[in-house]
Amino acid sequence: MEDSQQLIALIDGCRKGDREAQKTLYEHFYGYAMSMCLRYARSREEAREILNDGFMKVFARIDQHDDEGSFKGWLRKIMINTAIDHYRSNSKHYDHQKIDESTAQIISPGHDSLGEISYGELIHMIQLLPPSYRTAFNLHVIDGYTHEEISEQLGISVGASKSNLFKARGHLRALLKKNNKEKYA
């Protein structure tokens, strides 16, 4: 939104159930919200499902938004919590992959593979992680949650959170290494 008054007017319209205001708010924040959902989802379709569930919560709870606070921050929190809820409700359905020890190999020091991959490739690599690893990685590394907060959010032990993060990093290292080999093969 170019103008905070426009955003306030949109939020007010959403509070009144104005479908056009909801559509405009959805379209304006779609990219921002989708970028968060993609990090937590296995696929674009799953991310879209999380995004739509999140926006349903936004519209249902729009009265809870404090006009003095950041709408973007409030939206971010709802999207992350929706992704966590999605993970919790679907975790029993996911196939838990076993990642062999070779995925924990470390790329040679001084080599910057991140500088050679696009944002899309990185998101794709994060999506390839098993759900428990992906969720712990996103919550800790990208969203800044502590292991204690992750433990509480996901209903797992602090040790499991740390282990999932360690394994996620190892798996990402292996994917980066594989990506690097494929580029120069």
Q: Say what the pLDDT of residue 97 is.
A: 40
**Count of CB atoms situated within 10 Å of the CB of 68:** 5
Class of domain 101-184: mainly alpha
Compute CA distances 17 → 10, 14, 23, 62, 149, whole Å: 11, 5, 11, 10, 34
Q: Say what the pLDDT of residue 120 is.
A: 83
Name the CATH architecture for the domain at 4-90. Orthogonal Bundle (1.10)
C-alpha span between 51 and 129 (Å, rounded): 20
pLDDT, one tens digit per residue, over 67-116 is 788 999 999 999 999 999 998 887 655 544 433 333 333 333 444 444 55
CATH 1.10.10.10, the chain: domain bounds: 101-184
Percentages of the chain per state (helix, strand, coil), in multiples of 5: 75, 0, 25
Compute CA distances 14 → 51, 56, 61, whole Å: 17, 11, 10
Compute CA distances 63 → 5, 30, 53, 140, 146, whole Å: 17, 20, 17, 29, 29
Q: Say what the pLDDT of residue 91 is.
A: 67
CATH 1.10.1740.10, the chain: domain bounds: 4-90
